[in-house]
Structure 1
Amino acid sequence: MPWILKMQRSSVSTCVRIPWTRARQWLHFLILFLVIVLMFTAYKFKTTIKCFIILETSLLPSPSNNIMTSSFDDLSDSASQFFVAYPHHYSFILDEPNRCRQESPFLVLMIPVAPHEREARDRIRNTWGNQTTVLGQVVSHYFLLGLSREDDGKEKLQEQVLQESQIHQDIIQSNFLDSYNNLTIKTMVMFEWLSSHCPTTSYAMKVDSDIFLNVHKLTDMLLTAPRHLYMTGLVIRCGVVVQDESSKWYLPGSAFPEGYYPPYVMGLGYVFSMDLPQKIVEASLHVKAVYIEDVYVGLCMSYLGIELTDPPHAGLFRAMIPYFTYNCYWTSVIAVILQDSQQLSDVWRVYQTQVQSGC
């Protein structure tokens, strides 16, 4: 019998120890988890503070800050290739000098596109570009072009663009070379044109040609938006300066010494009140024009001390189509990057179906 009692005591002891052992294990896991969370929070807080300090100090005009001066004399040859020739006197080859004043639109859509991309322009004209009156507001669109860099067939292409302009009266063309590295020039020429041609317009939007644009949703948002010092879109805060030389967004420390950019709105499409174009043009006299156009607009806004505005809610501006889209997805967004402009026609048909279904 003693051995039975001994086993019973051992069993009882084991039953008592097991819960306490498990409790200690869970306690250890909980402590470890809390330590990890605290370390991560401290790291994020430290990174945020560091970014804030960098951004604040980078905006202070000083002789040593290359970004805040328009002179190129202090740039090395390796750094100068990341800046573009702006400010500069660019002229308009094709223009619509009176249309914006005559129409007096509530909203102007400016679409940068290369001269040879006729199909992209036609797709936009047949989809969101054909909406000229939305919620009782006049909406206009213009395509912004530079000069073709193709030597062969250049004259023929220019003749085709001229004929297209005469038919549709929606093409603005300037005499800079149309290339990816000159997108900043194209954007600044856009601001120049808007400031001098659309004095009674309330808002404008720069929107890429490979974008689905919900003009109805956009107009609805703008009806209650601020009328002054307003710019919104997909706002990037504390964007890291890319140091990978293989990236098309690469910017070396010799050209931009800070580790983070000031806040900027992603170039897929950003909306702004019409008091900003002239202010941004004036700021460009003091801020060197880097070739990354949306970053440069952010630099000018930071120089002016004007804060960017987040959209009313997240998800209105998207950098890609989500893997799964719900039934009313396309009526709930404003701007989404597509795979290419060819996808626009298909997406537009889905959007119209959703509108007709009551989305």
Structure 2
Amino acid sequence: MFRRTTVYSLYTKNSSGFSYPTQELPTADYNQLINLTFSFSVLNLVCNESSPMLLVLVHSSPKNFAKRKTIRDTWGKNEENVKILFMLGTVNSSDLQRSLEEENRLHNDFVQGNFLDTYRNITYKHVMVFKYVIYHCPQAKYILKTDDDVFVNMPMMKTFLSIDLSPYGANKLLFCTPRKHKKVLRTYRSKWRVSFAEYPNRNYPTYCPGWNLLYSPDVIFALYKEAQKAEYFWIDDIHITGTLAEKIHIIHTDIEPLVISREDLRYVVDDFTYNITKPFLYGRANLEEKQIRALWKFVTTHSMPKTVFEDVL
């Protein structure tokens, strides 16, 4: 079971909360994205008339229309206290761009930056997530960065944030599933090959896979400041939650116990007569659409524990 730690602190009703010190940023920061001149090509301002407890920013490949629909049909419904946006880069195809614009006209849930949407540009997208939060949704208490093949148990997530944590937010919080002592891939057969010139060390620092990153605002701002002035490295998980987080002494809180087990996932998807009593916040990474829909059906038809903490201190 997941346990409360003292790595982070929680705000109360009487706390002033975190205010982004944007005066610390360069004057031209808004139009800079690491080493690019930047602008938002598509910008939906979902926080203008609300102060969401949770802002969810989903990395999505432009061509993944069906995956975005699955999320909208299941866990990704916008409501007063939770806002969800899909984060995209630009595309080379005018037909694809027109389709994206039509999708956005229907749903108003895109943020698109002026960099090409490729896997070598994922770090730009991750830092764009930070930029959007800082400049366009500073009132969000928590920020979840995830991917379009992930299931978020939104009913449990809202309970977790408001009861197990605090509806008023937190400080020094980075919840994820850390990876330690991972070797740098050098083989030419790997999509994720990194040359010695790009990264000379044998192992990466401890980092978090990017599909379940729950941030507090102060961590967003600290990582953003570092990312904006650091040399570009294209594997965003390693660069942002590993190298930069280590540099500024951000500590990861491991929430692996709150990811559904492979066995439980199989039971749910196969629709066995089986009730999962262990609370979970996330399905696993790289889920198929049918798995996401099965998980949503399960969490909306079964009762779950009221708390995920074994000990409430």
In structure 2, what residue type is equivalent to 1:271?
A: L
Pick from 309, 316, 329: which aligns with 2:258?
A: 316
Gaps of 5+ in 2: 1-32, 269-273, 307-313
1:260 paired with 2:203, answer yes
Match of 1:304 in 2: 248
Number of residue pairs matched by the alignment: 264
The residue correspondences of 1:267-346 to structure 2 (distance < 5 A) are: 267-297=210-240, 298-311=242-255, 314-317=256-259, 325=267, 327-329=274-276, 332-335=279-282, 336-346=284-294
Deviation digits for residues 68-120 of structure 1 (CA, Å, limit 9, x no counterpart): xxxxxxxxxxxxxxxxx8332221111113x2131210000101112222211
Contact 2:34 2:229 in 1 (8 A): no
In structure 2, what residue type is equivalent to 1:105?
A: P
Distance 1:129 1:240, change over 3 A: same
- The structural deviation recorded for 1:332 is 2.1
Taking structure 1 as the reference length, the TM-score comes to 0.66
Deviation digits for residues 36-93 of structure 1 (CA, Å, limit 9, x no counterpart): xxxxxxxxxxxxxxxxxxxxxxxxxxxxxxxxxxxxxxxxxxxxxxxxx833222111
Taking structure 2 as the reference length, the TM-score comes to 0.75
- The structural deviation recorded for 1:323 is 7.3
Distance 1:350 1:202, change over 3 A: same
Pick from 133, 139, 144: which aligns with 1:200?
A: 139
Pick from 98, 108, 112: which aligns with 2:59?
A: 112
**Matched-pair identity in %:** 24
- The structural deviation recorded for 1:231 is 0.6
Contact 1:146 1:173 in 2 (8 A): yes
What is the rounded CA distance, in whole Å, between the counterparts of 1:330 and 1:202 in structure 2? 28
Contact 2:59 2:125 in 1 (8 A): yes
Match of 1:55 in 2: none
- By percentage of residues, which structure has more helix? 1
Contact 1:204 1:273 in 2 (8 A): yes
Match of 2:157 in 1: 218
- The structural deviation recorded for 1:217 is 2.2
Distance 1:331 1:174, change over 3 A: farther
Greater C-alpha Rg: 1
Superposition CA RMSD, Å: 2.7
Distance 1:160 1:229, change over 3 A: same
What is the rounded CA distance, in whole Å, between the counterparts of 2:246 and 2:110 in structure 1? 31
The residue correspondences of 1:72-221 to structure 2 (distance < 5 A) are: 86-97=34-45, 99-130=46-77, 132=79, 138-149=81-92, 154-221=93-160
What is the rounded CA distance, in whole Å, between the counterparts of 2:277 and 2:37 in structure 1? 41
- The structural deviation recorded for 1:286 is 4.2
- The structural deviation recorded for 1:331 is 6.9
Aligned to 1:204, the other structure's residue is in SS state strand
What is the rounded CA distance, in whole Å, between the counterparts of 1:290 and 1:318 in structure 2? 31
What is the rounded CA distance, in whole Å, between the counterparts of 2:249 and 2:69 in structure 1? 39
Deviation digits for residues 234-275 of structure 1 (CA, Å, limit 9, x no counterpart): 111232222333222222323212222222111122100012
What is the rounded CA distance, in whole Å, between the counterparts of 1:213 and 1:243 in structure 2? 33
Contact 1:237 1:263 in 2 (8 A): yes
What is the rounded CA distance, in whole Å, between the counterparts of 2:155 and 2:244 in structure 1? 29
In structure 2, what residue type is equivalent to 1:167?
A: L
Contact 2:278 2:305 in 1 (8 A): no
- The structural deviation recorded for 1:295 is 0.6
